[in-house]
């Protein structure tokens, strides 16, 4: 929902230059309409198949974003007790929450059981034993799915690939039947599902389809062995277009490609999208501080940095960077860098960008996912505010931190 009108960049019906002047920079800005449209694309594409769309909270955990999705009927995929607290504060139905993650603590399991979440996606036999013991203490019998590792290469960045045998996630699919058999003795658990997630930012559908076929075969085999398998959790991972020339899978077409397989299984299907719901719905606004040359090398120094958006430094990730106000000037080739004292503090390198001057604003695109959630106070920089745009109005959903916030909780 970001487009130009008379040379000015808008988010929905809000001019971003005006917003930047009032709110300041750097600042994250999200389009409510885009978030809801992406969520509904998943929800509506399943048609007659029983399903749950559980938004992956790790992608963007802002309360207002979670509340927006909760009111639209979304469930939530969490990976920590803190994320559970957030979704409950946002008004989520705990019966629509699935708890994933490889390192759940006893306190987190206790909190999830007390809250009455829908299901645990368990990643080891030790975890099953823990959940069983704590469920016995509370006199409840939660459902669980073993997260199986199908040994499928997601063809994505190695840091966000999770489906190979070398990764810490899940249990090898060949070992899963034995795990389920041994879990029969855990009388306080109900083996009602199978779970899988092979990675993030997946642009080719073939790895997902391969993983789905493997997991469907496992679910059928477990059903034949007498397990009450009713749920199939396919995880998330659908990619988005970060490059202007990149093409991402279309959400509805992706679900349609799975429709026949899933309908035939007669299982309730859960998906856990995150990036594909919020990624394209957000930008990072930043202001140009300086233009600088070192020999032939040109730099555009801005007030956003790696502590605000770490993806370019961490993953060498590409984000399009566009001017908030277009001018008829020839473009330049430059590094777009921030104020942090690290050579790794960059938003783009050797990039063709607009010929901007100090005081101009830039928009770092597709920053709605893994943007603010990965931000930090490195170099004692207060974290940026977050702004949610709805039509012609906007509201600050997280205020800019102050210097006082930086030392809150500390003592001399």
- State the binding site for pyridoxal 5'-phosphate: 237, 272-275, 370
| Residue located via tokens 């069983």 | 132
Tokens of 274: 């995150």
Whether the CB-CB separation of 59 and 277 falls below 8 Å is answered with yes
Q: Which helix (H) or strand (E) holds 137?
A: helix 125-138
Short-list 148, 87, 153, CA closest to 121:
148
By DSSP bridging, strand 27-31 and strand 282-294 are antiparallel
Q: Which of 54, 268, 341, 365 is catalytic?
A: 341
Q: Give the phi and the psi of residue 294 in degrees, each rounded to 5.
A: -120, 95
Cα–Cα separations (whole angstroms), residue 312 to 8, 316, 342, 367, 378: 26, 4, 13, 11, 16
Whether the CB-CB separation of 300 and 336 falls below 8 Å is answered with yes
Whether the CB-CB separation of 342 and 306 falls below 8 Å is answered with yes
Strand ranges (E), 251-370? 268-271, 282-294, 297-302, 321-323, 332-337, 346-353, 361-364
Sign of CA dihedral 299, 21, 305, 324: negative
Helices 205-224 and 251-265 cross at an angle (nearest 10°) of: 20
Residue 175 C-beta-side C-alpha neighbours within 13 Å: 13
341 noted as active-site residue = yes
Cα–Cα separations (whole angstroms), residue 391 to 30, 32, 385, 387: 11, 8, 19, 13
Binding site feature residues: 237, 272-275, 311, 315, 342, 370
Whether the CB-CB separation of 356 and 299 falls below 8 Å is answered with no
Catalytic sites, residue numbers? 341
């Amino acid at each position: 929902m970001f487009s130009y009108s008379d040379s000015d960049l808008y988010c929905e019906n809000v001019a971003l230059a005006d917003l930047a002047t009032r709110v300041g920079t750097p600042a994250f800005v999200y389009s409510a309409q885009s978030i809801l449209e992406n969520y509904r694309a998943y929800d509506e594409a399943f048609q007659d198949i029983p399903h749950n769309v559980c938004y992956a909270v790790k992608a963007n955990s802002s309360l207002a974003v979670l509340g927006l999705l909760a009111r639209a009927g979304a469930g939530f995929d969490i990976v920590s007790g803190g994320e559970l607290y957030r979704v409950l504060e946002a008004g989520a139905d705990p019966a629509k929450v699935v708890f994933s993650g490889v390192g759940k603590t006893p306190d987190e399991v206790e909190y999830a059981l007390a809250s009455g979440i829908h299901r645990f996606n368990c990643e080891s036999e030790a975890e099953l034993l823990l959940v069983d013991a704590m469920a016995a203490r509370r006199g409840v019998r939660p459902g669980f799915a073993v997260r199986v590792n199908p040994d499928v290469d997601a063809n994505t960045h190695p840091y966000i690939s999770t489906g190979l045998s070398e990764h810490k996630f899940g249990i090898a699919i060949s070992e899963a039947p034995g795990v389920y058999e041994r879990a029969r003795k855990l009388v306080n658990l109900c083996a009602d599902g199978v779970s899988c997630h092979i990675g993030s930012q997946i642009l080719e559908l073939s790895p997902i389809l391969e993983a789905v076929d493997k997991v469907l075969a496992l679910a059928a085999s477990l059903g034949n062995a007498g397990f009450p398998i009713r749920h199939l959790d396919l995880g998330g991972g659908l990619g988005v277009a970060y490059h202007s020339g990149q093409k991402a899978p279309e959400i509805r077409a992706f679900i349609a490609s799975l429709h026949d397989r899933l309908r035939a299984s007669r299982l309730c299907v859960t998906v856990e999208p995150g990036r594909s719901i919020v990624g394209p719905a957000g930008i990072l606004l930043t202001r140009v501080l300086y233009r600088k040359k070192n020999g032939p090398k040109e730099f555009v120094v801005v007030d956003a940095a790696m502590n605000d958006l770490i993806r370019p430094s961490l993953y060498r990730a590409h984000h399009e960077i566009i001017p908030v106000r277009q001018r008829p000037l020839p473009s330049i080739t430059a590094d777009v860098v921030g104020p942090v004292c690290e050579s790794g503090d960059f938003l783009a390198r050797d990039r063709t960008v607009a010929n901007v001057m100090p005081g101009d604003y830039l928009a770092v695109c597709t920053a709605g996912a893994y943007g603010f959630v990965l931000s930090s106070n490195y170099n004692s920089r207060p974290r940026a505010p977050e702004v949610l745009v709805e039509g012609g109005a906007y509201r600050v959903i997280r205020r800019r931190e102050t210097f006082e916030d930086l030392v809150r909780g500390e003592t001399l």
